Amino acid sequence: MVEAAELIDNDFLRQFELKIDGQLAKIEYSLQERKIFLTKLIIPEGINNEDFKKDFIASVFELIQERNLSVMPTCPAIAKFVRSNRKYKRMLPVGVRI
């Protein structure tokens, strides 16, 4: 589902965006030095699909990994995603545990 859509990094609004069914899913962020703080996950009400949410977050993590940044998930839904996906835990800054 996420693969067909284009993930956009809107650096002006500081959010990752993904259009799905004419609606906009977003992950807001704050960039400080070599760390990106993922602060808020916004999924439109009409899309209450857990698989979509996981795929969206995973695609954002892949993009962040390509940029060689550390991730600080401050949003509970994103922190839960990191806890359940061990391969992304290595993207956390040294000394940070979730």
Q: Which of 19, 2, 20, 1 is nearest to 62 (CA)?
A: 2
Return d(Cα 9, Cα 15) in angstroms, integer. 6
* Domain-located, residue 97: no
Interval 6-25: pLDDT, tens: 899 999 999 999 998 888 99
Interval 40-94: pLDDT, tens: 999 998 887 888 999 999 999 999 999 999 999 999 999 999 999 989 988 988 7
**Axis crossing angle, helix 50-66 with helix 76-84, rounded to the nearest 10:** 80
Bridge partners for 35 per DSSP: 32, 70
* Domain-located, residue 96: no
CATH, residue 39? 3.40.630.30
What are the tokens at 61? 């993590």
* Domain-located, residue 11: yes
How many domains are contained in the chain? Answer: 1
What are the tokens at 12? 């002006």
Q: Please give the residue range of the domain that contains residue 44.
A: 7-73+80-91
